[in-house]
Structure 1
Amino acid sequence: MDRQSIGSTQSGGRLRVEVRTVGATEILTPVGELDHHTADVLRSPLDDALDAGRSRLVVDCSRLEFCDSTGLNVLLGARLKADAAGGGVHLAGMRPVVARVFEITGADVVFTVHDSLAAALSD
């Protein structure tokens, strides 16, 4: 059975990030709007997970309402760090408005994208 622990919740106005661990995977769930003003609210727990040696990260985007280029850059930076550590960043459950940003920029091809959190965890 996978070990699961509920971690911290970071909050910054229009965005909060829930963090938990399932087995060897760190799950980060941003809730709200990821943009220039809130990017550090996600960047911090991503960096913390990578610094703690967790290189398989799943970002559950099902509750993310908006993502701009700054938010995209936070995720791309985490992907580079995770890849260098032998892991990766998986994105799960993207809403169409968020998925569109990834499609327009071509970033959807550099991430492993899953339809749901369950699919990402079974991968």
Structure 2
Amino acid sequence: MIEVYYNDLLNCFNIRDNKTKRYLGHTKLLKIKGKFQVDEIGRQRVLSEGKRNLHAFCVGEFFSGECDVNTYHRAYYNPYTTTSFIDYFSKEKLEDDEYYILFINKDVFYKKIPTD
């Protein structure tokens, strides 16, 4: 399992091991099968201190497959205006479901994985 989060300093996404927290690399294009995650304690620290910290990321596994971005929806997160990742346009909360998550440049896109 990996964690993927946006790195403002490098203007790309960082990848780290979920268990060891060891940095694995960075990229501007990646696809995973996973979930969105926000640590509420870290979010509250951002609000109280006014400083950014790593508290929101996606957790999952590398995944290859179709990547037609036109079939994906854009995700959004801002600790000052939302408590979790949401759909950029509808503002609906992205629940604990599993998604195909696509990272392109600075943007995050998602598609819900169909259940059988």
- Shorter-chain TM-score bucket reads under 0.3
Question: What is the TM-score when the length of structure 1 is the normalising length?
Answer: 0.26
Question: What is the TM-score when the length of structure 2 is the normalising length?
Answer: 0.27
Structure with greater proportional helix content: 1
Structure with greater proportional strand content: 2
